Structure 1
């Protein structure tokens, strides 16, 4: 199975712009007692998670850094509401994407490298193809135009890792307390996937260790090409 990075197609001619954030957010960690680093956040995004059962919603409204004990307390409130088998990290974003949007959008939209949106018709066509793990979550975007598209955010679960051969040889192990690994994502041309960690049940996901990287299978690419769904490009990755 071949795998690809999904990225915005800047040559597509679409003018759509999105400015927003997710409804709730976990705080970062202020000076982890183990690694002494303040972690402001990595893209763990779960748009399907509804935090309204949580009593203290105000604790999840403003980006900030907290002592690790407070961060861990808030994680325990959220954890039962997560998709099965997923994890939390500092700055994890939860709930629907809210904000403003304008312009002309393609069937698929990647306004920032770690978001992937789809118009309703495109999402329904992809789901009808039998692609695995495609879950669209309604956004709460306000449009400054008539005939605005209905955009859904695809929930991208963190699965799969980069192969050690594309990472620095002098890298340190993740912090045992906060989990921070402090690595910079390799360039797409140098990113090598660890085949033993790649999921057999998903055609679209984000990497667990470099969660800004949206990865899809060749089945996803072939379906998009067959259906004429543009707005993004695909760069082939190597796995080992």
Structure 2
């Protein structure tokens, strides 16, 4: 099996633009007691999550950093609502994508390097091809045009890692308290074959969540069906 990185197609004729954020999110961590870092990132998202039953919903509406004890408390409140295999991190995004959209959209849309949207009809075609693990979640995007498309956000489980051979030799281990790794993504990525899933055709890396990975099955189906809007960059593995 060959793998590819999914990226925005900057040469595309499509002019669609999305501006938004997810409805809820976990706070970042302020001054971790072990590594002293203040950090958080929304590059890991679970758009299928519905937190509306949570009584203290306001705790998840404002982006901010909190002491690690408060972050861990809030993690436990959302854990029952997460999809199978979900992994939380400080700043993780939850719930539907909310915002504005305008322009001409292709079948596939990458509003950022770590998010992937798909038009409803295109998702149905991909699922009919037997591709595995494609969960399209409704968005709450407001369009400034008539005949607006129905854009769904694909939920991308974090699984798979980069091979140690492409990472710095003098790298520090993750913080034992908050899990922060503090590594910059290498330009020349090498996938760790032993960590890649056998049951998914689309996912994001666990250790570098800005990287969306797909199988050659996904690439072949998109090309055969004429589903444009993204590019596919081959990723070697070891």
Q: Fold match, TM over 0.5?
A: yes
Instruction: Please report the TM-score for the alignment, with normalisation by the length of structure 2.
Output: 0.99
8 A Cα contact 1:120 1:150, kept in partner: yes
CA distance in structure 1 between the aligned counterparts of 2:12 and 2:75, rounded to whole angstroms: 40
8 A Cα contact 2:40 2:89, kept in partner: no
CA distance in structure 2 between the aligned counterparts of 1:210 and 1:44, rounded to whole angstroms: 10
Equivalent position of 1:51 in the other structure: 51
Q: CA deviation at 1:84?
A: 1.1
Query: Are 1:147 and 2:147 matched, yes or no?
Result: yes
Instruction: Please report the TM-score for the alignment, with normalisation by the length of structure 1.
Output: 0.98
CA distance in structure 1 between the aligned counterparts of 2:42 and 2:196, rounded to whole angstroms: 20
Query: Are 1:7 and 2:32 matched, yes or no?
Result: no
CA distance in structure 2 between the aligned counterparts of 1:120 and 1:143, rounded to whole angstroms: 16
8 A Cα contact 1:42 1:211, kept in partner: no
Q: CA deviation at 1:50?
A: 0.5
Equivalent position of 1:218 in the other structure: 216
CA distance in structure 1 between the aligned counterparts of 2:108 and 2:234, rounded to whole angstroms: 18
Q: Could you list the per-position Cα deviations for residues 183-223 of structure 1 after superposition, in whole angstroms to 9, with x for gaps in the alignment?
A: 01112xx1000000000000000000000000000000000
- Structure 2 gap segments, 5+ residues each: none
Q: CA deviation at 1:42?
A: 4.7
CA distance in structure 1 between the aligned counterparts of 2:41 and 2:29, rounded to whole angstroms: 8
The one of 190, 194, 197 aligned to 2:195: 197
8 A Cα contact 2:108 2:229, kept in partner: yes
CA distance in structure 1 between the aligned counterparts of 2:55 and 2:34, rounded to whole angstroms: 30
Written as runs of structure 1 = structure 2, the 5 A alignment for 1:33-112 is: 33-112=33-112
Aligned pair count reads 238
Q: CA deviation at 1:40?
A: 2.5
8 A Cα contact 2:22 2:98, kept in partner: yes
The one of 228, 231, 238 aligned to 1:230: 228
CA distance in structure 2 between the aligned counterparts of 1:144 and 1:202, rounded to whole angstroms: 35
CA distance in structure 1 between the aligned counterparts of 2:132 and 2:85, rounded to whole angstroms: 16
CA distance in structure 2 between the aligned counterparts of 1:85 and 1:211, rounded to whole angstroms: 14
Q: Does the residue aligned with 2:22 lie in a helix, a strand or coil? A: strand
Equivalent position of 1:21 in the other structure: 21
- What is the RMSD computed on CA atoms of the aligned residues? 0.6
- Structure 1 gap segments, 5+ residues each: none
8 A Cα contact 1:7 1:113, kept in partner: yes
Which 4+ residue blocks in structure 1 deviate beyond 2 angstroms? none
8 A Cα contact 1:23 1:94, kept in partner: yes
CA distance in structure 2 between the aligned counterparts of 1:101 and 1:233, rounded to whole angstroms: 21
Q: CA deviation at 1:14?
A: 0.6
8 A Cα contact 1:4 1:217, kept in partner: yes
Q: Does the residue aligned with 2:115 lie in a helix, a strand or coil? A: coil
CA distance in structure 2 between the aligned counterparts of 1:208 and 1:162, rounded to whole angstroms: 9
Q: CA deviation at 1:12?
A: 1.2
Q: Could you list the per-position Cα deviations for residues 127-156 of structure 1 after superposition, in whole angstroms to 9, with x for gaps in the alignment?
A: 110000000001000000000000000000
Query: Are 1:160 and 2:160 matched, yes or no?
Result: yes
